A and B are shown apart, each in its own frame.
Chain A
Amino acid sequence: MTPQRRAGLVCWILAATLATILGLRGFSLSFSLEREVWWLKASGYLALSSLFLSLSMTPALRFQQFLAMGGIPKASWLAFRRSFGITAAVFGTLHAALVWTTYLGGSWRVLFASAYLRAGLVSLVILLALAVTSFPRLTRRLRVGLWRELHRLSYVAALFLAQHLLLSPFAPKGRSLWLCVLLVVILSLRALPGRSPFRPKP
């Protein structure tokens, strides 16, 4: 099994299991608004966690290289980075669909009127663009040459998610701030010296 297939399988089993558990938990709530918000929160946090895991892979690889340790091969790190990123886009889409059909009642005007909803939408658009360009065959067909410059937007997507979290009415602010700190730590770890996994082949 290729590292990409293995990472995809792990991510999808994990995601499907968590989504099923959290979805079923939502059914146990009798108050309609609370039930809907539970599903929104569950899908949103799954998307967020997936993105953070995806963003953590490169720093983790750097860390491994920094410590001059063996262990997980570079290809696995990169495969997990891709799989978690795609998972984030999928959960983000699910989250957006749930928000759209329940909390927003299908209104575009609300979506564009609130800063936190706009931030979430922009983040989703970026994640979808990155997900689409994560499939080599599709990337070739789309003639994507500046792949790195596009995929660096994953950090921008994370920043938009931070804004989305900090402004959203139901996200606990203490937890949101910790997640922002975590994001800063992840971004900082990229500064560790080491061979960049992005370095182009000569």
Chain B
Amino acid sequence: MHRHHTLLKPQILILCAGLGLWFLRPTPAFASWVVAYLLAWAIFNYLPGLRRGLNLEAPIGWVGFGVALVVAGPLLALHQRIEDLGWEEGLLGLGQNLEHRLRLERLPALAPPTVFTDHPQALYAHAPAARSVTLELGAGVRSLVGISLGEGLFRFEYDPRRDGSPSGEDAALDALLVIDGEVHERSLRRIRWQAHPRWIRSAPERGLGAAVSEETDEVIIVSRDGLVRRIPVGDGPTDATFLGNGARLAISHRYSPDLWIVDALTGETLERFRLGPFQARLAVSPQGDALAIARAGESPGIDLFSLPELLPLPGIELFHTPDGLSFGASRRTLVYSSRSDRALFKLEASDGEAGSPPWGPPSPLWLGRPAVTLAASVGGEKLYVAVTDYRPDGESHRGNHFIQDQILTIAVEPWEVVGQLMTGRRTPAQTQTGNIDSGISPMGFAPRQDGSVLVAFAGSDEVWELPPGLAAPPVVIAGMDLELGAPHGVADLGEGYWAATSPGGGVLAVYSPDRELLHFIAVSPSDSELDSAPEGSLARQDLVLRAGELAFFEGARAGISCQSCHLHGGTDESPHDIGQTPLLPTLTMGGISGTSPYLRDGSFPRIRDLNDHLAETLYRGYSHESPSRRWDLETYSESLPFAVNPRLLEGTDLVKMRAGVEAFAKARCVFCHTFPALTNLGQHPVRTLFPDYGADQPPEAMVDTPSLLGSHARSHFLQDGRADSLEEVLGEFNEANRHGDSAALDSEEKNALIYMLESL
């Protein structure tokens, strides 16, 4: 008689009882719901008396009330565990992963999803069976003709200086892929960096400092009186140093092939020397009689000039890419750092015997971690080197997430470490045991005539003044006295004046001998100017990138920043214990856009989750709250570009590359390293791909399929970096022939494949 007033009672009863059973042990997993439901079903199925005992014909109101009472607790428990449930079931970040995968699956596909307006880059399209492909990046950019590499893969070489920058102010860029005359619209993100005054050198005798902004192709000259001028230079200035008592400036470039000599005051270009692209840091000998230019690229080395006449001297070919560079006490001694070797190397001029090379073999000084930055004392006898750990045996530290910022003093002549200053310090700002709020991430040095040294700390927004011989505690300039976020460069302007740079903030500042801020020189728009721009504009994106960059360098309360391991946004090439075995070398962050999930096992679906899990939890959070930090960091991280492949500027053998693509397809690498991003963004059990190696790994160990774009910049391969070369990846580390069918390739095809991978 109450049929129209009642619910489907058995079903409702089972659901409610299932929820109740789940509530007894509320495991955040869908499977536990099913188990609870089945248990409830079994109870009511096999105990019909119980079912009848409950008043099944009760009016709907009472049934509803009872149901509400029963389900309230479980639903509350579920609400509290919703994020855990997302993690457990792989649903957290699923949207982003699907978005990235759909973008790559939608043919014709384009990768990477970002276009940078400050440097040359390569983009790839996958358009099977296409004969001709062009890419239109909008008004202001000429059509880019795709170079066919075979198997439907096309490459576009885009240089904003040569081809033009997209017009308009929107961060979103509607690109058009024209495949055999048919137009396909694809959405890209445009990254335009604001001015980044980073490294700064000085001529104290003239009170001048010069900072380069690689992103905006300019050198910024400052004096004790403030800004002198901004000088437009070639593509990607990497360093600038004063010559001849500050009258001239030498400027090295990453992408332009020329070393520029510029009049420091007028900005007029005096000379250019063609050295080839990928020039890095500069060094002038203490006597001012030689200039050295570190050179990366396909043939790394050091170029030399005699001063003041600027006559080329015989250069030095190197086996490793030089990072930092300095002279010793004379032009006969050179020191350079190598990130991949995590060491310093000293070169000494030989005695000039007939037939002998002008420079002896490099003498290593193992550090265990790469030099973050280095600078020589004024006389060149000593070297100051910032590192995140010091291991004289060159081995990796086995401590979990181990970072111990320190400054090493190295005597160049005996070539040994003579001083070690731990910089990470506790302060009255400490809120719990062990917090470190000072001395995080030393980034720039300025040795002064009196033997004191200025040190910029990017992680704790400080500049320290280290007294000569460390005879007294350092003087710390921070907070409102400094007014710089993540300072990088610091320079002695003479007579006690000094300057510092903040690339993230886009500012330079000049300080008095009393350490008072004299001039605040903004070379990029202020936050409020950027904030006033429309939503979705480049300016608004710049604001987020700025916040993200500052957060990237900001030290967490454990004394660790993202930069600590991801050196300069890349990698410190060092194996770390990050809770997994074996130790894993740091991955570069360049080019990660559109490749969710992250980490070697793909365990983090989004960058923001890394911030939550690592920085905010393991590293104990930050000294100041920022609700947007996780988003800012994510946007910044996804805006870091791949390292530019030297072959993009120095030339690629297309015949060999096409043969490599053919071999890539023949070995079925495309099965997982799918075109055009060369990843399908999937994860696999390690044992499935590497049965021999995986036998020693936990069975549940997974490996994320990495993008092979940017492979040229890696010095170690496979998920734990166990392969030192691509030859090893295809050979001894693929004996089971499960990681691609490399057994199907002959040696010529393997060579072509390796060449192709190194050219991406």
Contacts and interface: CB of A to CB of B under 8 A. Distances in A.
A108 B41 CA distance: 27
Contacts, number: 115
Contacts of B688: 33, 103-105
Contacts of B266: none
A116 B702 CA distance: 13
A90 B159 CA distance: 56
Interface in A82-110: 103-105, 107-110
A152 B8 CA distance: 13
Interface string B663-701: 000011001100000001011110111010000001110
B98 interface: yes
A174 B41 contact: no
Contacts of A153: 34, 37
A155 B131 CA distance: 46
Contacts of B44: 146, 149
A55 B98 CA distance: 26
Contacts of A104: 685, 688
B685 A173 contact: no
Given A149-B10, A163-B89, A173-B102, A30 B685 contact: no
Given A146-B14, A156-B34, A166-B94, A31 B700 contact: no
A120 B685 CA distance: 16
A105 B668 contact: no
Contacts of A172: 105
Given A33-B688, A115-B88, A174 B668 contact: no
Given A126-B34, A173-B98, A174-B106, A34 B684 contact: no
Nearest to B104: A173
Contact of B685 (A105, A119, A143, A145): A105
A113 B700 contact: yes
Contacts of A9: none
A107 B252 CA distance: 55
Contacts of B48: 145
A155 B395 CA distance: 56
A17 interface: no
Contacts of A74: none
B41 A149 contact: yes
B10 A122 contact: no
A156 B98 CA distance: 22
Interface residues of A, number: 46
Contacts of B98: 166, 173, 177
A160 B35 CA distance: 14
A16 interface: no
Contacts of A107: 685, 687, 699-700
Contacts of B702: 113-114
Interface residues of B, number: 47
A24 to B, nearest CB: 19
B617 interface: no
A167 interface: yes
A66 interface: no
Contacts of A126: 34
Interface in B96-113: 98, 101-102, 105-106
B319 interface: no
B82 interface: no
Interface string A151-191: 01100100010010011111011100100000000000000
B682 A170 contact: yes
A166 to B, nearest CB: 7
Nearest to A33: B738
A169 B682 contact: yes
B687 A105 contact: yes
A150 interface: yes
Contact of B699 (A32, A110, A148): A110
A146 B45 contact: yes
A144 interface: yes
B14 A149 contact: yes
Interface in B730-760: 737-738, 740-741, 744
Contacts of A32: 737-738
Contacts of A113: 700, 702
Nearest to B48: A145
B354 to A, nearest CB: 58
A199 to B, nearest CB: 12
Nearest to A170: B682
Contacts of B30: 119, 122, 160, 163
B34 A174 contact: no
Given A105-B687, A107-B699, A31 B741 contact: yes
A146 to B, nearest CB: 5
Given A113-B700, A173-B101, A105 B41 contact: no
Nearest to B89: A115
A161 B745 CA distance: 38
Interface string B29-58: 111001001100100111010000000000
Contacts of B31: 118, 121-122
B451 interface: no
Nearest to A115: B90
Contacts of A31: 667-668, 671, 740-741, 744
A85 B225 CA distance: 83
11 contacts: A31-B741, A33-B738, A37-B671, A107-B687, A115-B89, A146-B44, A150-B41, A163-B30, A163-B90, A169-B682, A173-B101
Given A31-B671, A33-B668, A156-B34, 14 more contacts: A31-B741, A33-B688, A33-B689, A105-B688, A110-B685, A116-B90, A143-B46, A145-B45, A150-B41, A156-B37, A166-B94, A168-B682, A169-B680, A169-B682
Interface of B: 10-11, 14, 29-31, 34, 37-38, 41, 44-46, 48, 88-91, 94, 98, 101-102, 105-106, 667-668, 671-672, 680, 682-685, 687-689, 691, 698-700, 702, 705, 737-738, 740-741, 744
